[in-house]
Amino acid sequence: MIRRLFIANRGEIALRVIRTAKRLGMTTILGASAADAASLPAREADEVALVGPAPSAQSYLSVEAVIAAAKAAQADAIHPGYGFLSENAAFATAAAEAGIIFVGPDVASLHAMGDKLMARKVGIEAGLPVVPGGEAADKAAALARAQETGFPILLKAVSGGGGKGMKRVDAPEQLDTMIDMAMAEAQASFGDPRIYVERFIASGRHVEVQVLGDGETAIHLGTRDCSIQRRFQKLVEEAPAPALPDAARAEIEGAAVRLARHLHYRGAGTVEFLVDAETFDFFFLEMNARIQVEHPVTEAITGVDLIEQQLLVADGARLSLTQAMVQPSGHAIEVRINAEDADADFRPSPGTVTRAAWPAGPGIRVDTHMPSGGQVPPFYDSLIGKIIVSGATRADAVAKLSAALEATRIEGVSTTTPLHRRIATDPRFVKGGVDTRFFEGLA
């Protein structure tokens, strides 16, 4: 039984896990770096264990340091949040060897979904359609793949995620340089320079499905749309995916459940698809074997606490939900507020938040670890909060989002709030169903 939970993460997701775990009666131990020792999550956790100095390579990304801190704290389980070590099979293995429950899928699923080439193979085995492409062991192989699939293509890191190690190539003469860049970025971000080739679908939508499993069965909790992206980094997410025919939605949800059942998946996961915006043909991209940044929009329309479900399954319980019990209602939208200057090519803006006035009211949820006086360290991802709005209809949610953003006041650092105000009033967004090229046409 999980009595003492170690949270191996920081920021808003650490705070999110702490609050749910406390509600379940668990003692929470935050594994914090020196830079986060006085953060809001550290103040709300029952205990704090330092995992190392500020640089993430010496703290949050150090398997040895995190496991040692968790053992010293006599933790029963580790929740990895998202990012950092959340999808690291070696970390899950080390936790098991230390007698600590890893709150996530089993090691086999992490291996299968952590390697994008393996994920394609498993997806095909489960009967899912995949984007044309394949492995590129060297430049000659990449060129052959590109000629086979046709330009434009995407070069993608085999161990990638979060848009890192991903490059679009529009013509053969760009390939040599782009391969070098993609491999260097993949090595720096994941310690693995391998890449593969996929056809680039110009008019594509990013639609994903939230799944839950207990190793014996699996269900879905509906779709999300994450098509508004910049350089493959998500900016806005909503649930359910708008402007999607019912038949296409049902096929996509069914495919996600097939994959989860094929894997005997345990815990929360997200199956991601690329959907042709014109034909609604869809292709399996990958599975994120962890909780997602955008999970609150699914919670808003289903009433299901996904962190709670993760913890219960990790503690050995069967799923308490059946597919028939999941009845999504209404619409929800999330925007990520980052400490970045969108007008200066999204330059990070670390420093002190002198004022943090977040919106509030019916249908408005804010997940943040950043109060007035809070510090934005220069060492980590710049996410300082998420504004989630929900309404009976998408139009209600869009109107509520615009009002919530107008009420948001963050001072002391630059943020992406002004950018989101422009997005929220853009006629294409208001209509719904945009593709991944939306950001290119934003005024």
CB neighbour list of residue 156: distance below 8 Å, 6 or more residues apart: 116, 165, 166, 182, 195, 196, 197, 198
CB neighbour list of residue 53: distance below 8 Å, 6 or more residues apart: 33, 34, 35, 59
> Which one from 290, 336, 365, 394 is the annotated catalytic residue?
290
CB neighbour list of residue 302: distance below 8 Å, 6 or more residues apart: 221, 222, 326, 327, 328, 329
Burial class (CB in 10 A: 0-12, 13-18, 19+), 392: exposed
> Could you give the residue ranges of the DSSP H alpha helices within 286-369?
295-302, 306-314
Q: Which residue from 128, 259, 132 is spatially nearest to 200, judged by alpha carbons?
A: 132
- Cis peptide bond upstream of 362, omega within 30: no
- Give whole-number Cα distances, 164 to 71, 282, 370, in Å: 32, 23, 26
CB neighbour list of residue 35: distance below 8 Å, 6 or more residues apart: 53, 54, 375, 377, 379, 380
What does the alpha-carbon distance between residue 257 and residue 284 come to, in Å, rounded to a whole number? 12
Token duo for residue 283: 């292709």
Q: Please indicate whether residue 19 is annotated as part of the active site.
A: no
What does the alpha-carbon distance between residue 300 and residue 295 come to, in Å, rounded to a whole number? 9
**DSSP annotation of 193:** -
CB contact burial 306-332 (16+ within 10 A = b; e otherwise): bbebbbbbbbeeebeeeeeebebebbb
Instruction: Find the helix packing angle between 107-114 and 89-97, rounded to 10°.
Output: 170
Write out the E strands in 277-394: 282-288, 331-338, 340-341, 347-348, 351-352, 355-357, 364-368, 375-376, 383-391
The answer to whether 252 and 223 have CB atoms below 8 angstroms apart is yes
What does the alpha-carbon distance between residue 236 and residue 233 come to, in Å, rounded to a whole number? 10
The answer to whether 305 and 236 have CB atoms below 8 angstroms apart is no
What does the alpha-carbon distance between residue 409 and residue 46 come to, in Å, rounded to a whole number? 30
Please state, as a whole number, how many other Cβ atoms lie within 10 Å of the Cβ of residue 370. Answer: 25
Helix (H, G, I), strand (E, B) or coil at 362: coil
- Which residues are annotated as catalytic? 290
